[in-house]
Amino acid sequence: MTTSSPVGLPGLPARVEVYEVGPRDGLQNEKAVVPVEVKAEFVQRLLAAGLTTVELTSFVPARWVPQLADAEELLALLGDLPGRHPVLVPTEKGLARALEAGVREIAVFASATETFAQKNLNRTVAASLDMFEPVVRRARDEGLAVRGYVSMCFGDPWEGEVPLTQVADVAVRLHEMGCTEVSLGDTIGVGTPGQVKALVELLPSRGLPVGALAVHFHDTYGQALANTLVALQCGVSTVDASAGGLGGCPYAGSATGNLATEDLVWQLHGLGIETGVDLASLVRTSTWMAEQLGRPSPSRTVAALAG
Ligand code: MG
């Protein structure tokens, strides 16, 4: 591989925190259930490749997400890890399990739309936020950091267009209840750059500072990197991605799901933005993981650099 020297663009951060979601968001949305030893090796390899923030798993009832039913076992296998290692926790029961397992950061998963809140959490948007509130409060009281996800920010497969103010209401409420970071999710990957700019610029005027925002794009329509670049230009410096592009979205009828971490890192490094990630090592990890899953990685960068 030959590459040119990095060339920056004005108004971009010097460093971006890559928030790796592969072990949780990725594997949760894969059909195959991966053995816990393979998950542990996956996480170790991601850390060895320089990722410092890795969302590990989900403390939800096993019947909700059988792919992640081994949360306790996984954390026990991993032991103490350097960096940020959030786990998804929807309920107080889940939080109690997470605290017992020594977790220091959690995430809650809210929806901007009523239909997805019903399908994913079996309650209204308001009732799901009411469910999260005591979870977030107790987690903060215990000294934990808390990320709040907002899904379906740029469109919903059942409701179509999602009004910006509706997304902002949920994001602001999560921040007000104590979430230290709010991740704006384009769960079906339909958003385009102008829409991203409009949402990211609206939130600070509603009291949610850009420094507390992260973005979570899906590449269903090939827009994830364009949307990322615009978010960075608006001052966002935490970007979610999934190693090898793991995890389709079960609600979008396309094979492509999460933005691949390798594709993101290729762009960031080309812009001279620091990530701490060793891209070659990450590509080897995703190639190995693709072998475990028995299908090739959908990441363009993995395809270009592997072998
Ligand atoms: Mg995702």
pLDDT in tens, 164-202: 999 999 999 999 999 999 999 999 999 999 999 999 999
Cα of 97 vs centre of ligand 1, distance in Å, is 24
Cα of 4 vs centre of ligand 1, distance in Å, is 31
Percent of the chain whose predicted confidence (pLDDT) is above 90: 87
Mean pLDDT of 69-75: 96
Of 236, 178, 192, 244, nearest to 211 (Cα)? 236
Give the per-residue pLDDT at 256.
63
Q: How confident is the model at residue 104 (pLDDT cuts 50, 70, 90)?
A: very high
CATH of 17-306, one of 3.20.20.70, 3.40.718.10, 3.30.420.40, 1.10.390.10: 3.20.20.70
Give the per-residue pLDDT at 248.
65
Cα of 217 vs centre of ligand 1, distance in Å, is 7
Cα of 99 vs centre of ligand 1, distance in Å, is 24
Cα of 15 vs centre of ligand 1, distance in Å, is 22
Q: How confident is the model at residue 251 (pLDDT cuts 50, 70, 90)?
A: low
Contact predicate 221/260, CB 8 Å? no
Cα of 186 vs centre of ligand 1, distance in Å, is 8
- Please provide residue 9's backbone torsions phi and psi, each rounded to the nearest 5 degrees: -130, 155
Cα of 259 vs centre of ligand 1, distance in Å, is 8
**DSSP calls for the chain:** ---PPP---TT--SB-EEEE-IIIIIHHTSSSPPPHHHHHHHHHHHHHTT--EE---B-S-TTT-GGGTTHHHHHHHH-S-SSB--EE--SHHHHHHHHHTT--EEEEEEESSHHHHHHHHSS-HHHHHHHHHHHHHHHHHTT-EEEEEEE-SS-BTTTBS--HHHHHHHHHHHHHTT-SEEEEE-TTS---HHHHHHHHHHHHHTT--GGGEEEE-B-TTS-HHHHHHHHHHTT--EEEEBGGG----TTSSSS--BPBHHHHHHHHHHTT-B----HHHHHHHHHHHHHHHTS----HHHHHH--
Q: Is the pLDDT of residue 34 over 90?
A: yes
Q: Is the pLDDT of residue 67 over 70?
A: yes
Beta-carbon contacts of 33 under 8 Å, excluding residues fewer than 6 positions away, are: 66, 67
- Please provide residue 209's backbone torsions phi and psi, each rounded to the nearest 5 degrees: -70, 150
Q: Is the pLDDT of residue 33 over 90?
A: no
Contact predicate 180/143, CB 8 Å? no
Q: Is the torsion defined by CA of 244, 250, 251, 252 positive or negative?
A: positive
Cα of 2 vs centre of ligand 1, distance in Å, is 31
Distance CA 260, CA 240 (A): 9
Distance CA 192, CA 222 (A): 10
Q: Which residue has the tokens 């102008």?
A: 194
Catalytically annotated residues:
249
Cα of 25 vs centre of ligand 1, distance in Å, is 6
Q: Is the pLDDT of residue 61 over 90?
A: no
Count the neighbouring beta carbons within 10 Å of the beta carbon of residue 14: 9
Cα of 249 vs centre of ligand 1, distance in Å, is 7
Task: Tell me, rounded to whole angstroms, the distance of Cα 241 from its chain centroid.
Answer: 6
